[in-house]
Amino acid sequence: MATRKHSKEKKRFRIGSVSVYKHRRSWWLYYRENGAARRRRASQSLEEARVIAAEVNAQLAGNRPTIFSFQPISVEDLTHRWLDYHEHVRRSSVATCQRYRTAVEYLVRFVGNEPSCRCAHKVNAEAFLRYVRAVQVAPNGHRNARKRGLRDKGIKFILGACRSMYGFAHSHRFLPPYADNPFAALAVDRMPVEDAKRIHVFAAAEEFSFLSACDDWQFPVFYILAKTGLRSGELAHLLIEDIDLVNETLHVRSKSELGWQVKTRNARSIPLPPEPIAVLQHVIGQRREGVLFLRRSVQDQPADHVMTLSRDASAAELAQRADCLSDTLGRQLTRVESFRLAKRLWRDAGAAKTDTIRTEFMRITRSIGLGHVTAPKCWRHTFATLLQEAGVDPLIRQQTMGHAPAGPRAGALGMTAHYTHTQAKVHRRQLASALSLRPRTSDIVADQIGNGAKTEQKGEQQ
């Protein structure tokens, strides 16, 4: 009589100092690391469990951390390391680091109220989301302002920053092995935005009313914003030497030696039609160097020394101030200190704050019955819409607006954008066609420049 052999799978075996055993449907590892017993789930597959056990055994033999080991870290320490990484390794801008710091500070405050989840790997992302949705904040940061809940876009930014920080923690082995990013499970990118402020695009009649309500200081500022699509920060940091009156071109470029950079770090040149050039020429007047748009309080005052410096001379002035402050403190300046010093130099040079531009913008919109429109960025949206209405080439629209490419290595038009070299006359002609859609604005330009010229002549006669 033939006998049947029953194949029986071994449920426990050893690979070096690592014991492998089966529990329920999975294979587990048992070993000792730094004098402490470790039990870790390896895999449901025997072959994968053998490979992992061999790798762990080799790591133990070499006195290296195993693939299952991790370094627990508190949320506060993780925040400091992540921000330090962005500041000194990634070299993110000071403003970006400040935004990240503000965002992750909500997580620090959350774990401060939850003693059981002080360690980063114990944070419950869903509980944190409920906490953030219940937080009341002052929109302008003033302690006496009426508080409200965070808007959906703000919540998404906070969760996105936390997700990025936990990705950093995972890559630096601050989380348990094979642990998922808790904030990735929230599907932040798919969260709806239900309370976003509506972007206002100025109609032709509204644009005419707005520019007609401007005074002598406001008109050139908002006309250039409306007809070039510049960001407020780009306009505030324009120098006279950024305007090429001979070739009728406006150059938007970073000034890293003066502590300011374009948002996308990409310089661009905008060939301008005659009307914007006439406005800029009127703003420059007889000046040769310095900030293009002086703030209201210093516009009619005698020029200070710093207000007449060129870009190179301003950089030398800033370097001298930095050396003096560094000698006083007895150490090298931090990036934040250097940033503040550069802001002080821009103020001494007569530059206007972006907050001032926004305040002036709101003052005008209230006077024409558009009090709900509070962001100067609406001019940028209006200009982009106007370019589309005029049928301006998409590549020229992207170059004019200074938008970042859609991908890390290619623009929105792929290699076509790389091989296309737009001529200045074509660029200027396309912008002129867009500006011609609103002819009433041209009348305001003529009136403003004419009145300004008459005022200057009267002042010279007196």
The domain locations on the chain are 12-61, 75-190, 204-407+415-461
Could you tell me the pLDDT band of residue 427, with boundaries at 50, 70 and 90? confident
Does 15 score more than 90 pLDDT?
A: yes
CATH architecture of the domain formed by 204-407+415-461 = Orthogonal Bundle (1.10)
The answer to whether the beta carbons of residues 277 and 220 sit under 8 Å apart is no
Residue with tokens 């808007």: 151
Distance CA 220, CA 280 (A): 7
Q: Does pLDDT of 69 surpass 80?
A: no
Q: Summarize the confidence of residues 435-439 as an average pLDDT.
A: 87
Is the pLDDT assigned to residue 142 strictly greater than 90? no
Q: What pTM does this model have?
A: 0.78
CA 432 vs CA 210, 270, 392: distances in Å: 21, 12, 10
Strand partners, 269: 251
Point out the least confidently predicted range of 71-75, 105-109, 232-236, 376-380: 71-75
Name the residue with higher pLDDT: 177 or 437: 437
How is residue 210 written in tokens?
A: 């707005």
Dihedral over alpha carbons 83, 88, 91, 97 (to 10 degrees): 20
> Among 357, 65, 373, which Cα is nearest to 231's?
357
Residue 42 pLDDT exceeds 90: no
The pLDDT of residue 461 is 46
Burial class (CB in 10 A: 0-12, 13-18, 19+), 207: buried
pLDDT for the residue 274? 92
d(CA 28, CA 41): 4
Is the pLDDT at 408 greater than 90? The verdict is: no
Sequence-separated (6 or more) residues with CB below 8 Å from residue 460: none
Position 451 confidence tier, pLDDT thresholds 50, 70, 90:
low
- Tell me how far apart the terminal alpha carbons of the chain are, to the nearest angstrom: 131
Residue 444 is predicted with a pLDDT of 87
Report the C-alpha gap between 39 and 27 in whole angstroms. Answer: 11
- 160-169, 292-301, 367-376: least confident range: 292-301
196's tokens = 């976003």
pLDDT in tens, 245-272: 999 999 999 999 999 999 888 899 999 9
pLDDT at res. 407:
55
Q: What is the mean pLDDT of residues 48-62?
A: 91
What was the pLDDT predicted at 180? Answer: 84
* Confidence at 1, pLDDT banded by 50, 70, 90: very low
Assign 3-class secondary structure to the chain: CCCCCCCCCCCEEEECCEEEEEECCEEEEEEEECCEEEEEEEECCHHHHHHHHHHHHHHHHCCCCCCCCCCCCEHHHHHHHHHHHHHHCCCCCHHHHHHHHHHHHHHHHHHHCCHHHCEHHHCCHHHHHHHHHHCEECCCCCCCCCCEECCHHHHHHHHHHHHHHHHHHHHCCCCCCCCCCCCHHHCHHHCCCCCCCCCCCCCHHHHHHHHHCCCCCHHHHHHHHHHHCCCHHHHHCCEHHHEECCCCEEEECCEHHHCECCCCCCCEEEECCHHHHHHHHHHHCCCCCCECCECHHHHCCCCCCHHHCCHHHHHHHHHHHHHHHHHHHCCCCCHHHHHHHHHHHHHHCCECCHHHHHHHHHHHHHHCCCCCCCCCHHHHHHHHHHHHHCCCCHHHHHHHHCCCCCCCCCECCEHHHHHCCCCHHHHHHHHHHHHCCCCHHHHHHHHHHHHHHHHHHHHHHC
- Give the integer Cα–Cα distance in Å for 439 and 54: 78
Rounded distance between C-alpha atoms, residue 78 and residue 105, angstroms? 11
Contact 254, 237 (CB under 8 A): no
Q: Which range has the worst mean pLDDT, 3-12, 46-55, 191-200, 394-403?
A: 3-12
**Is the pLDDT at 6 greater than 50, yes or no?**
no
Instruction: Inform me whether the pLDDT recorded for 433 exceeds 50.
Output: yes
Residue in the block written with tokens 């305040």: 359
Question: CA 111 to CA 286: how far, in whole Å?
Answer: 59
